[in-house]
Amino acid sequence: MLSISLALGVGLVGDVVGAPPLPPPVETTVMTTADNQIEIVSGADPVEIVVTAPTVYAGTYLVSQAELAAGPVSLVPPALSAAADVGQTMQYTPGLWAYDATRGAIVVLGQWVRDDVDIAGATETTYDVQAADLDTVLHVREVAMQIGQTAQAHVSAPVPIVRRTLVFSLIGQSNMVGFTPFDGAATYPDQAFQVARTGRASGGTNDEIVPAQTLLDHHDGSVGFMGLALQFAIEHMAANPYDRVLLVPDARSSTGFAGNHWNRGNVYYNSAVSRLNTLFAANPDFEFSGFLWHMGESDAGSAADADAYAGRLDQMITDIRADVTAATETTPFVVGGMVPSWVAGDANRQTVQAALSATPARVGRTAFVDSSGLVPQADGIHFDAASLRILGARYFAALDMLKASSGPGTAWQIEGTVIQSTVMPAAPDVDGTLVLEGN
C-alpha cells in the first residue's frame, strides 16, 4: 500500500495578521485521515487524486510513484494577488503539494522574489510593496523539502509592479504654451512625460510618449521657452513620488472662443479630444486626472466677446468632459487668471478675468487659480519665468484640493489665492478673491 499526503505551502500553520482566512482542509474523492494524508489502497501507478475543495486547488492530478520517490510533487503553484501600490499589501495563496508520507514529513518554505532576486526577510504570505519594487516583477517561489529527498521548487506567475500613470490635458493659449525663456532652474523630473506631436521640439511623432522637456509639444512655441506645466509637474512629483505624470500638450497661442478655436467642433478643441481619446484607447490603465486651462486674452477684444466668455467656457467644460472617453462630469477642471497689470488696463479684460474667477460658482468640480502678485515679461501679456513657476505651483495646489474634496462637502473652499467648488453651489457674490455664498 502506498501512503500519499497532500500538503499546502507555507502559511497554513498559524495566522498572519491581515491575511485572509486560511483555506479549509483539502477534500478529495478518496479517503483521508485526520492529518490530511491520502491513503491509496490500490497500488496503481500513476495515482489519480481528485481535489474538490477549496476551489483554488480543485482539479484532477496524476502522480507517479517514480515522482514521489524523487521527492514532493507540486500540484498547484502559489498564486499572487493583484499588483498593489507602494505601501499597500500583496498576498499569495500557498501552493499544493503531494508527497509520500512513508518517507517522512515535508517542510515548505515561501520566498518573495523581485526580478529573480530574493527579497531579504520576505517569507510570509503577505508582503508590503516597497519603492524598490516599482518597475520590477514580483513572484513567489516555494521550496518543499523532505529528508533524504531532493528539494523541489515551484513559482507563481509573475506580477509586474508599475507606477500609476496620471494624465493631464494642457489646453488654452499662449500662457499655457509658455512664451518666456527658460530660467535655467529645475527642469522636468525623470517620471514626467508628454504625448509628442510630429514636427515639434521633442522630435517625437504623433501620439508617441516621450520625456517632457522645457518646451512641450503644443501647437506652437519656441525652443528654449517654458510654460506653467513645468512647475506643476515638479510639485506633483514631489508630492507623489511613486506616480508617473503624463502631459498632453494641446494649447495654441492667439486662440479663443470668439475666433472659433475652442468651441465644440473647432479645430483645437477637436485636436485635444482626439489626442486624449487615442491615448486612452491604447492605454486603458492610465488614469485621467484633469484639465488645466489658461485662456482668455483673445476673448477680451470686444465687449460682446468678453460678455460671452463665461457662457462659452461653461459650455466647453461640459462638452469636453462628455467627449473625452476617460473623463466624467466630475473630472477636475482648473482655470487660471491672466496677468493682473494687463487686465487692469481694459474693462473687457476685467470682464473676462471676473468670468474666470467665478467659474467655480457656475460649474461644479472646478477651481480658479488667482494670478495676484504675478508679473509679466516685457511684452506685458505673458507671465515672466518666476511668475510661471508660482502659477504652476498654484495650479497643482488647486488640483490637489479638488482631488482631496472628491466626496460630499461644502460647496466652497478657499485656501490662499485658490478658490474651488466641490459641488454645484448656489450662486455666490464674487468680489476679487472673496466669495460670499448665496442662499
The predicted structure's pLDDT at residue 417: 57
Task: With a cut of 60, say whether residue 85 has pLDDT above it.
Answer: yes
Residues 6+ positions from 374 with CB-CB distance below 8 Å: 339, 340, 383, 387, 390, 391
Here the cell at position 10 is 507555507
Cell 500662457 sits on residue = 175
Task: With a cut of 90, say whether residue 334 has pLDDT above it.
Answer: yes
Q: Which CATH superfamily is domain 164-436 in?
A: SGNH hydrolase (3.40.50.1110)
Q: What is the mean pLDDT of residues 216-244?
A: 95
User: CA 403, CA 367: separation in Å to the nearest integer?
Assistant: 11
**Could you give the percent of the chain with pLDDT greater than 90?**
65
Q: What is the mean pLDDT of residues 7-23?
A: 35
Average pLDDT, the chain: 85
The predicted structure's pLDDT at residue 213: 95
Strands (E), 286-433: 287-294, 333-336, 366-369, 412-415, 418-421, 429-431
At residue 72 the predicted structure's pLDDT band, cuts being 50, 70 and 90, is confident
Q: What is the mean pLDDT of residues 180-203?
A: 96
Q: What is the mean pLDDT of residues 202-211?
A: 97
Residue closest to 97 by CA, chosen among 84, 107, 87, 85: 107
User: CA 169, CA 317: separation in Å to the nearest integer?
Assistant: 12
Where along the chain do its domains lie? 2-161, 164-436
Q: What is the mean pLDDT of residues 100-109?
A: 84
The predicted structure's pLDDT at residue 59: 86
User: CA 252, CA 294: separation in Å to the nearest integer?
Assistant: 11
The class (CATH top level) of 2-161 is: mainly beta
Q: What is the mean pLDDT of residues 303-326?
A: 98
State whether residue 34 is helix, strand or coil. coil
The predicted structure's pLDDT at residue 30: 37
CB atoms within 10 A of CB 345: 10
CA distances from 417 to 390, 395, 432 (A): 11, 11, 10
